[in-house]
């Protein structure tokens, strides 16, 4: 048993040291690029959403599909089997837009590795991109090659500063009218942390800024107004409040669950898209880029320090 601990401790030490050393060395490089990324990803996300939604419910990120985005005004490319929409990055590329435009709609892995747009192998004469460039690239990620992506839960990223689109597998229940409502994104708590307590929730009590508590979870349903089959007025009364009973009974004035019928399972899964965090949870703003990788259908947004 002592050996088990020794081995575990050794692995732990090696991994933590490696990550910390690598991370802190990178930190110097990434500081600057993060600022640039932050100022640009918003439009990038919007762009991506528009393109995805215009294509219908779902898109397979096949070579064929990518090939259709071959212009500077609509530029997708593949790097190491990941698909990126770099349209909004034109103009910011230190190497100029020309070299990038040449690779739109194609597999740009070799070009990216060698900084030579016409490279046919990754061992070119030129050196590859910096680590900060890798980092920056993450902000333009749409999905993996041949992955099926669907409409987005953009609302989740409300608690983040930067807005990036998240590919979601089609196993998510079809939420056809979510995206069109999500045109504005809010920056919550631009600095420091925010506790999702009743006091905080109560400040979001308007149709234009509506949070509610349902069964111990906090939702920002602002963008759902207009799409509610039961109308807006039934929802408005619950803004800034514990809406558990109202949600359970479909009766906005309900004080206990019961009497009237509950929401459908489709509605329940729809609600997940507006999840911010658990009641009394402290959500921070440092996890911004993390939401990129939240792929599971019933994703929880906000602070993903799961345990």
Partner 1 sequence: MFIIAILSFIPVVVWFFMQPLGVRFFDLNATTTSLGQIFGLVGMVLFSINLILAGRFKFLDKYFKGLDKVYINHSKLGAISFSLLLFHPLFLVIKFITISIKEAALFFVPFINAPITWGIISLGLMIVLMSLTFYIKLKYHVWKISHKAMVIVFIFAILHTFFISSDVSRNNFLRYYILSLAIIGLLVSFNKAFLGRLLVKKLKYKVKNVNQLNESILEIEMEPLNKKMIFNPGQFAFFEFINGKVSSESHPFSISSSNVESNLKITIKNLGDYTNELINLKINDSVLVDGPYGNFSYKNIQNKNQIWIAGGIGITPFLSMAKSLERDYIIDLYYSVKENKEAVYLNDLQELSQKIPNFRFNLWAASLNGYINAGVVANLSKDLESKDIFLCGPPAFMEGLKNQFLSLGVDIKKIHYENFNFNL
Task: Determine, following the binding rule CB under 8 A, whether residue 6 of this chain makes contact with partner 1.
Answer: yes
Q: Which stretch binds partner 1 (CB under 8 A): 11-19, 54-62, 68-76, 234-242?
A: 11-19
Among residues 32, 122, 171, 266, the one that binds partner 1 under rule CB under 8 A:
171
Pick one of 74, 78, 90, 277: the residue that binds partner 1 (CB under 8 A): 277
Q: Does 2 bind partner 1 (CB under 8 A)?
A: yes
Task: Sketch the per residue contact string, 138 through 157, with partner 1: x for CB under 8 A, - otherwise.
Answer: x-------------------
CA–CA distance, 238 with 132 (Å, rounded to integer): 45
User: Taking the complex as a whole, how short is the minimal distance between the CB of residue 231 and partner 1, in angstroms?
Assistant: 30
Beta carbons within 8 Å of 199's beta carbon, 6+ residues apart = none
Which residues have C-beta within 8 Å of that of residue 105, sequence separation ≥ 6? 66, 67, 68, 69, 70, 71, 75, 76, 77
- Interface with partner 1 includes 268 (CB under 8 A)? no
15 makes contact with partner 1 (CB under 8 A): yes
Sheet harboring 141-144: ordered strands across?
70-71, 74-79, 82-85, 141-144
| Planar angle of CA 170, 75, 146, nearest 5 degrees | 30
Both tokens of residue 101? 């435009």
Residue 145's closest CA among 177, 167, 162, 124?
167
Please name every residue paired with 144 in a beta bridge, in sequence order, or none if there are none.
82
- Interaction site with partner 1 (CB under 8 A): 1-2, 4-9, 11-12, 15-16, 19-20, 22-24, 26-27, 30, 134-135, 138, 169, 171, 193, 216, 277-278, 281-282, 284, 286, 289-290, 292-293, 295-298, 300, 302-307
């Amino acid at each position: 048993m002592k050996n088990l601990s020794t081995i575990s401790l050794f692995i732990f030490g090696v991994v933590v040291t490696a990550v910390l050393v690598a991370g802190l060395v990178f930190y110097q490089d990434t500081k600057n690029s993060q600022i640039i990324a932050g100022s640009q990803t918003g439009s990038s996300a919007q762009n991506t959403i528009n393109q995805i939604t215009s294509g219908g419910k779902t898109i397979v990120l096949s070579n064929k599909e990518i090939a259709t985005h071959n212009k500077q005004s609509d530029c997708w490319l593949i790097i190491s089997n990941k698909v990126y929409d770099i349209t909004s990055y034109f103009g910011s590329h230190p190497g100029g837009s020309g070299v990038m435009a040449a690779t739109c709609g194609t597999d740009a892995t070799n070009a990216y590795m060698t900084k030579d747009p016409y490279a046919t192998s990754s061992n070119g004469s030129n050196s590859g991109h910096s680590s900060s460039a890798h980092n920056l690239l993450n902000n333009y990620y749409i999905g993996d090659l041949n992955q099926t992506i669907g409409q987005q839960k953009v609302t989740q990223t409300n608690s983040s500063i930067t807005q990036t689109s998240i590919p979601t597998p089609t196993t998510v229940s079809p939420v056809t009218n979510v995206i069109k409502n999500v045109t504005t994104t809010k920056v919550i708590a631009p600095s420091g942390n925010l506790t999702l307590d009743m006091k905080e929730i109560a400040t979001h009590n308007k149709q234009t800024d509506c949070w509610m508590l349902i069964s111990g979870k906090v939702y920002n349903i602002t963008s759902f107004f207009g799409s509610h089959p039961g109308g807006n007025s039934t929802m408005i009364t619950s803004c800034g409040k514990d809406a558990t009973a109202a949600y359970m009974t479909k009766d906005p004035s309900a004080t206990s669950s019961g009497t009237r019928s509950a929401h459908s399972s489709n509605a329940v899964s729809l609600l997940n898209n507006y999840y911010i965090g658990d009641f009394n949870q402290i959500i921070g703003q440092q996890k911004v880029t993390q939401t990129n990788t939240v792929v599971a259908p019933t994703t929880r947004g906000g602070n993903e320090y799961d345990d």
